[in-house]
Amino acid sequence: MVPWRIASTLMLCAPGFASSAQPDWHLKKDEEGIKVFTADTDNSDFKCIKVECTVKATQSQLVALLTDIARQPDWVYGSKSAEVLKTINANEFIFHSEVDVPWPCADRDYIAHITINQPSPQLLTIDSYSEPDMLPLKDGVVRVKKSAAHWDVTKEDNDLLKIVYTVSFDPAGSVPAWLTNMFVTKGPLVTFQKLKDKVGLAAYQNAHYDFIKE
């Protein structure tokens, strides 16, 4: 794909897979209950990524963390800055973020349109797609124009949530293979390790949303 530094940040911003066929997933990392898979895509030279893990939290706690956009740099690997551009309603908004990418690559930025839904009390879904033209381009920063991601968050026993997160996108510009390989597993692992830690913060424990039935 691209350095996971970009992909991990896009986890909050990116709708499901662009490929019609089921991806052939290959396990690349399995640590601390976090599994990271990669697969080739039919319509891109870059790999898609899937993360599976279990988190102790309510659905509302998780949504509170994921929608606390200004604090993304505290836990999303490589996130440099993030801000909400437009709030459409309680479960739909658009935000902009800039991603720190190691030399020799230029930093990336993206604009994401997120929608959160609860099809049933047991299942929460989060989808996103790019809105690349909402802001002018920034000198020295490459705009990510194509992205797709999806979260399935399923309630389990003992206040646990099973998360299955998938992401696929084109990072735009030139990305060396060695840099891609370095970040394709490290980034998602670090991000979800921090997610597990941050979701339990006091700021999110009493979160409540009218569109979520706990």
pLDDT digits 0-9 by tens, 125-154: 999 988 899 999 999 998 887 777 899 999
| pLDDT of amino acid 178 | 58
Q: Quote the pTM value.
A: 0.86
| pLDDT of amino acid 154 | 98
Q: Could you give all domains of the chain from N- to C-terminal order, each with its CATH number?
A: 4-17+31-205 (3.30.530.20)
Contact 48, 17 (CB under 8 A): yes
| pLDDT of amino acid 4 | 45
**What is the spatial distance between Cα 153 and Cα 162, in angstroms, rounded to a whole number?**
6
| pLDDT of amino acid 156 | 95
Instruction: Identify the CA nearest to 3 among candidates 196, 132, 173.
Output: 173
| pLDDT of amino acid 104 | 77
Instruction: Identify the CA nearest to 2 among candidates 47, 33, 39, 53.
Output: 47
| pLDDT of amino acid 14 | 39
| pLDDT of amino acid 108 | 85
Span 43-74, pLDDT tens digits: 555 668 899 999 999 999 999 999 999 999 99
Residues of the chain with pLDDT under 70: 1-21, 41-47, 169-185
